Amino acid sequence: MSFNMSSMSDLIYLLIALIVLIAGSTLGAQITDLRVPSQALAGDDVTLHCDYDDNDSHLYSLKWYKDGLEFYRHVPSSHLDTIDQCSPISGIDTKCWESSERKVVLGGVVRDSSGNYTCEVIGDHPHFKKTSKSAVLNVYSQSLEIPVIVGAEEYYQELDYIKLNCTSLNSEYNPLLTWTINNQKPMLTEVLRGWNKLTVGLNFKAGIDKFIKGVITVHCMAQVGQHIKVAEVNLYSQHLQAQQYHLGGATGCVRDGFIVLCMATIATLAPLHFLLQ
Ligand SMILES: *[C@@H]1O[C@H](CO)[C@@H](O)[C@H](O)[C@H]1NC(C)=O
Ligand SMILES: *[C@@H]1O[C@H](CO)[C@@H](O)[C@H](O)[C@H]1NC(C)=O
Ligand SMILES: *[C@@H]1O[C@H](CO)[C@@H](O)[C@H](O)[C@H]1NC(C)=O
C-alpha cells in the first residue's frame, strides 16, 4: 500500500516535471512590448521600452544593442549583485541611473544615435531561450517649423466647400501633418493626401453647425517625435460680415471683441460728426 502511494506521487512529480519542461522549452521569457520612437530631434532624451513576460521562465539577461553593438545589459542574480551595466558606444549616452531592465533612457540624442535598436531577452536555465525585437530610430538636426496654411478666403457662405492646404517648411524630414476643425478631427474623407509628403489638403462643407459665432477655427499640426508646431486660421461666415455692415460699415470689425469696439467708435464719432456740420 505504502509502496503504491510513493510510486503514485513519483508519477505525479514526473508528470509535473514533464509539463514544466515542455512549457519551458516552448515559451521562455517573451518580449511583450517593444517601444522605440521612430523619430526624434537632436538634443531630445529618448526612452526605449522593452517589456517582457517572465512567468514561464525567469530572466537570465536583457540586453540592448544599437546596430549590433551592446550598450546596456541587465543580469539579475540570486547569489551575486544584479548587474546593470551601460557600455559607452558612439552616439549613445545612456542615462544609467534612470534606466532599468524594462526602460532605458538615452540622454541628448545626436544624429549618430540614428540606427537599428534591438532588445534581446534570454530566459534562465535550462533552456536559455533567446528572443529579440528591433526597431529603427531616426534622429534629425533641423528644428520643427510651424507649417503654413494656404487657400483661406476672406469669407464663406454656408454650404460652401472650404479647401485648404497645409505645407511643412522642413526639408530634412516629413513631419506628420494633421488637421482639426473647431478642435475636432475631420472625417477621413475630408483629408486629402498624396500630392507629396509635405502637403496635406482639407476639403469640407461649411455647414451651419460648423460656424461658432460666425467663425470656424482650423488648426494644422506638424509633429516629429515629441515635438508639435501648430498653425491656425479663422474662417468667417458671410453672414457675420453682413451683420457687421449693418452695425456701422466699418472695416476690420471681424471678431466678437471688435464688434464691441466698432460700436464704441460709432458712439464716439457721432457727436464729432454733429460738431463738424
Ligand atoms: C504574467 O504575470 C503577470 C502578473 O503576474 C500577468 O499580469 C500576466 O498576464 C501574465 N502573463 C501571462 C502570459 O500569463
Ligand atoms: C535590425 O536588426 C535586426 C537584428 O540584427 C535585424 O533582424 C533587422 O532586420 C534589422 N532591421 C533593419 C531595418 O535593418
Ligand atoms: C493644394 O495643393 C494641390 C497640389 O499642389 C493643388 O492641386 C491644390 O489646388 C491646392 N489647393 C489649395 C486650396 O491651395
Q: Are 117 and 136 in contact (CB under 8 A)?
A: yes
Same domain for 164 and 119, yes or no, is no
Q: In whole angstroms, how far apart are CA 180 and each of 166, 177, 186?
A: 12, 10, 6
CATH number of the domain within which 233 lies = 2.60.40.10
Closest ligand 1 atom to residue 55 Cα is 1
Closest ligand 3 atom to residue 163 Cα is 13
Same domain for 123 and 182, yes or no, is no
**Does a structural domain hold residue 111?**
yes
What pLDDT score was predicted for residue 19?
A: 52
Same domain for 129 and 179, yes or no, is no
Domain membership of residue 215 as a residue range: 148-243
Same domain for 54 and 132, yes or no, is yes
Q: What is the DSSP string of 152-201?
A: --SEE-TTPEEEEEEE---SSS--EEEEEETTBPPPGGGEE--S-TTEEE
Residues with CB under 6 A from ligand 1: 53, 55
Helix (H, G, I), strand (E, B) or coil at 149: strand
| Best-predicted range by mean pLDDT (36-40, 89-93, 255-259) | 36-40
**Does a structural domain hold residue 88?**
yes
Same domain for 32 and 120, yes or no, is yes
pLDDT of 263 strictly over 50: no
Helix (H, G, I), strand (E, B) or coil at 1: coil
What pLDDT score was predicted for residue 126?
A: 81
Same domain for 114 and 66, yes or no, is yes
Counting ligands in written order, which one lies closest to the CA of residue 150? 3
Look at ligand 2, atom 14, and give the residue with the nearest C-alpha.
116
Out of 120, 140, 160, a domain closes at 140
Prediction pTM value: 0.71
pLDDT of 246 strictly over 80: no
Q: Residue 144 gets which letter from DSSP?
A: P
**Does a structural domain hold residue 272?**
no
**Does a structural domain hold residue 225?**
yes
What pLDDT score was predicted for residue 78?
A: 59
pLDDT band at 265 (very low <50, low <70, confident <90, very high): very low
